[in-house]
Amino acid sequence: MKSNLIKLAGFAAVIAFASPAFADGDAAAGEKVFNKCKACHTLEEGKNKVGPSLHGVFGRKAGSVDGFKYSKAMTDFGVTWDEGELKKFLADPKGVVPGTRMTFAGLKKEDEIENVIAYLKANGG
């Protein structure tokens, strides 16, 4: 009995650590996460690389940067990017937008996602 209780307490502690309360992300930490995006994205207006410019991405309809050749999957996706949509997409790009040309496995850690979102917001994203 007693050992079960201890196990239970340990389990609860693991859950508590695994899901920290989300305050706003940390933009400084997010800059490092953005290094993973930089090969394909800039935050400069109108500057597309392999991926579209992420300037002004919040509030923008998915697949709508002029002059960037998106996949049909992305132009058909139909969402307007906000924090919630971006969180889902960055965790699993190909799961959320099947057929996307964004060949990126996704960010595994929720705090990385929070932080990169904070970085994007703080830098004109």
Across 49-88, b (16+ Cβ under 10 Å) vs e yields eebbbbbebbebebbebeeeebeebbeebeeebebeebbe
Whose tokens are 């997409």? That residue is 89
Q: State the nearest-atom distance from the C-beta of 76 to ligand HEC, in Å.
A: 10
Please name which of 113, 43, 114, 57 lies closest in space to residue 74, comparing C-alpha atoms: 57
Choose one: 2-10, 14-22, 23-31, 38-46; the region binding ligand HEC (CB under 6 A). 38-46
Nearer to ligand HEC, 14 or 39 (CB): 39
Binding of ligand HEC at residue 70 (CB under 6 A)? yes
Q: Which of 25, 30, 115, 116 binds ligand HEC (CB under 6 A)?
A: 116
Q: What is the C-alpha separation between 111 and 52, in angstroms, rounded?
A: 24
x/- string (CB under 6 A) for ligand HEC, residues 2-31? ------------------------------
Helix axes 27-34, 110-122, angle to 10 degrees: 100
Residues forming the site for ligand HEC (CB under 6 A): 36-37, 39-41, 50-52, 54, 57, 62-63, 65, 70-71, 73-74, 81, 86, 90, 100-104, 107, 116
